[in-house]
């Protein structure tokens, strides 16, 4: 799960909310858990606390932390270095955030191909990722 997915799931007015909610529901039914990272959650929390009243942001982020359906993978030093290597590899794509690069490193390591995101960078890198919703 990318930051985009968490933010869209929180905002019922977002035009992609329904599609994202269906994807999230399908994932929790089929695999039992949704994979994300501490870097993605950091980015998500930063965005939500900037955009929403504290009580709304707190309620949502607290629910994410406590959810039994969410597996939070840590961006360790090794994963951080792999992301840094990807930064060099994709020097022609400077708009890819470092958080996205850490997610790509994590996905490659764990052989995860599907990601809930609206971010086309995951398709542009040629690492075999698929974005959902399509």
At the fourth CATH level, the homologous superfamily of domain 3-132 is 5'-nuclease (3.40.50.1010)
Q: What is the pLDDT of residue 78?
A: 98
Q: Of residues 97 and 29, which shows the higher confidence score? A: 97
pLDDT level of residue 32 (50, 70, 90 thresholds)? confident
**How sure is the predictor about 28, in pLDDT bands with cuts at 50, 70 and 90?**
confident
Residue 34 φ/ψ, nearest 5 degrees = -110, 130
Q: What is the DSSP letter of 66?
A: H
Please state the rounded mean pLDDT for residues 89-99: 97
What pLDDT score does 30 carry?
75
**pTM, rounded to two decimals:** 0.93
**What Cα–Cα distance (Å) separates residue 21 from each residue in 2, 17, 133?**
13, 6, 10
Q: What is the pLDDT of residue 25?
A: 86
Taking the C-alpha atoms of residue 82 and residue 108, their distance in angstroms, rounded to an integer, is 10
- Share the mean pLDDT of the chain: 94
Distance, in Å, from the CA atom of 83 to the CA atom of 87, rounded to the nearest integer, reads: 6
Average of per-residue pLDDT across 35-48? 97
Count CB neighbours of 88 within 10 A.
Answer: 7
């Amino acid at each position: 799960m990318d930051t985009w997915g968490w933010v869209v799931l929180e905002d019922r007015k977002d035009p992609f909310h329904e599609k994202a909610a269906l994807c999230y529901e399908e994932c929790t039914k089929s695999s039992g858990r949704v994979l994300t990272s501490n870097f993605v959650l950091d980015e998500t929390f930063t965005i939500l606390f900037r955009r929403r009243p504290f009580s709304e942001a707190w309620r949502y982020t607290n629910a994410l932390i406590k959810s039994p359906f969410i597996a939070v993978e840590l961006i360790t030093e090794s994963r951080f270095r792999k992301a840094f290597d990807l930064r060099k590899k994709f020097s022609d794509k400077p708009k890819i955030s470092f958080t996205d690069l850490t997610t790509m490193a994590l996905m490659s390591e764990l052989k995860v191909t599907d990601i809930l995101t609206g971010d086309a960078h995951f398709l542009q890198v040629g690492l075999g990722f698929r974005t959902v919703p399509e």
